Amino acid sequence: METEIVLMKDVQGLGAQGDIRRVSLGYARNFLFPRALAAPATPRAIKALEIEKKKKEAEARRALEKIRRDAEALSKASCTIPMQAGEDGKLFGAVTAQHVAEALEKAGFAVEKRQVELPEPLKELGVFSVTIRLHPEVASVVKVWVVEK
């Protein structure tokens, strides 16, 4: 015996939130319903899910706009990292994503080292453009000054 359900959350192997599926009655009653993963496919449940989906979309849009504003402010920023260097301008060590993240944090920007896209560590003095990926759709370029200590 089967019943029609609407998924309230993503269920691996069954579908994504909002999908309407036909499953066995026992699976629905014993697994999906008690865990609030699904509800019977009634017009009321479908409408409630649509309202919830609209709320999440609006929240995601607001969050993305905030990230874009942060990226714009970050693109105007620069940071200075003092390092020990030899006479030829080569560093004793290297500037890594961790160094850039710490320097930006001191400048007032909350950036994690995994957001810093540095193809390879910086090993000489100079000015470098470093990409900071704040969101999969939003990136910002920051000037990093590596100066002698």
- pLDDT for 123 beyond 90: yes
pLDDT digits (tens, 9 = 90+) for 34-86: 999 999 999 998 888 889 889 999 999 999 999 999 999 999 988 999 999 98
Does this model's pTM top 0.75? My answer is: no
Question: Which CA distances in Å does 36 have to 29, 45, 68, 80?
Answer: 11, 12, 34, 51
Look at residue 62 and give its three-state secondary structure.
helix
